Chain A
Amino acid sequence: MTYKPEEIIETIHMTEVEHLDIRTVTMGISLRDCSSPDPSQLIDNIKTKLLTLAKDHVKTVEQVSSEFGIPIANKRIAVTPISIIADGHSRETFVEVCKALDYCAKELGIDYLGGYSALVQKGMTKGDKNLIESIPEALAVTERICSSVNIASTKAGINMNAVAKMGHIIKELANNTEEAIGCCKLVVFANCVEDNPFIAGAFHGVTEPEVVINVGISGPGVVLAAVQKAGDCDLGALAEVIKRTAFKVTRMGEMVGRKVSERLGIEFGIIDLSLAPTPAEGDSVASILEAIGLERCGCHGTTAALMMLNDAVKKAA
Chain B
Amino acid sequence: MALSEFEIKKITEIVAGKVGTDLDAKALRKVIDSVVDNLQANQNNPEIKGATCEVSASDSKAEAKTTIGNSPTIQKYLTDENQVQGKGGLYDEIEKSDASRIIVAAFGKNRPGVVAAITKILAELNCSIEDISQTIMQDFFSMIMVVNMKDCTMDFATLREQIQATESTLGMKVYVMHEDIFKYMHRI
Binding site for B on A (CB under 8 A): 1-3, 5, 7-9, 11-12, 16, 66-70, 248, 251-252, 254-255, 259
Alpha-carbon distance A81/B101, docked complex (angstroms): 43
Please give, as numbers and ranges, the residues of chain A lying within 8 Å of B182 by CB-CB distance.
3, 7-8, 11
Instruction: Say whether A67 contacts B157, CB under 8 Å.
Output: yes
Binding site for A on B (CB under 8 A): 103, 105, 131, 133, 135, 142, 144, 146, 156-157, 160, 175-178, 180-187
Which residue from chain B places its CB closest to the CB of A2 in the assembled complex?
Answer: B131
Which residue from chain A places its CB closest to the CB of B6 in the assembled complex?
Answer: A265
What are 30 sample pairs from A and B whose C-beta atoms fall under 8 A apart? A1-B183, A1-B187, A2-B131, A3-B103, A5-B133, A5-B135, A5-B142, A5-B144, A7-B182, A9-B105, A9-B142, A11-B181, A11-B182, A11-B186, A12-B105, A12-B177, A66-B157, A67-B156, A68-B177, A68-B178, A68-B181, A69-B181, A248-B185, A248-B186, A251-B184, A252-B184, A252-B185, A255-B181, A255-B184, A259-B180
Alpha-carbon distance A68/B156, docked complex (angstroms): 9
Instruction: Say whether B177 contacts A69, CB under 8 Å.
Output: yes
Contacts A8-B105, A69-B160: A254 and B184 contacting too (C-beta < 8 A)? yes
Instruction: Say whether A2 contacts B181, CB under 8 Å.
Output: no
Alpha-carbon distance A70/B184, docked complex (angstroms): 13
Contacts A3-B103, A252-B185: A11 and B177 contacting too (C-beta < 8 A)? yes
Alpha-carbon distance A9/B134, docked complex (angstroms): 12
Please give, as numbers and ranges, the residues of chain B lying within 8 Å of A3 by CB-CB distance.
103, 146, 182, 186
- Expressed in whole angstroms, the minimum distance between the Cβ of A266 and any Cβ of chain B is 12
